[in-house]
Amino acid sequence: MNWYVKVMKNYFNVEGRARRTEYWMYFLVYLGIIIVASILDAVVGMGLIGGLVALGHLIPSITVGVRRLHDIGRSGWFLLVGLIPLIGWIILLYWAVKEGDPQDNAYGSNPKAA
């Protein structure tokens, strides 16, 4: 939960690097929240709750994705690769599970060393 809170506190921050743990723990908690919101939507009969939850997590999801790409030495603009049908998501998934640069890079120092 601490990783999720850390991402939400850095709502608009695209500076620096996000290690794999931060990225994946954020999405794990987000997935749980979306599942609960979907269940509530089914009970209430509206799609409003899930939509609001997704909208509220749009910017943090993008910023943590950008910081994750920074960790492997890539620009945040590489998130646009996900717009390529099918293969784009596979490439982004590979980059998301790839270990970050062990040394400092242009985007900051290694977050594991801190």
Number of structural domains the chain divides into: 1
Contact 93, 1 (CB under 8 A): no
Q: Could you tell me the residue range of the domain that residue 21 belongs to?
A: 2-97
Is pLDDT at 46 greater than 90 in this prediction? no
Task: Indicate whether 108 belongs to any domain.
Answer: no
Q: Do the Cβ atoms of 104 and 110 come closer than 8 Å?
A: yes
pLDDT digits (tens, 9 = 90+) for 47-91: 899 999 999 999 999 999 999 999 999 999 999 999 999 999 999
pLDDT tens for 26-35 read: 999 999 999 9
Residue 106 falls inside a structural domain:
no
Is residue 8 in some structural domain?
yes
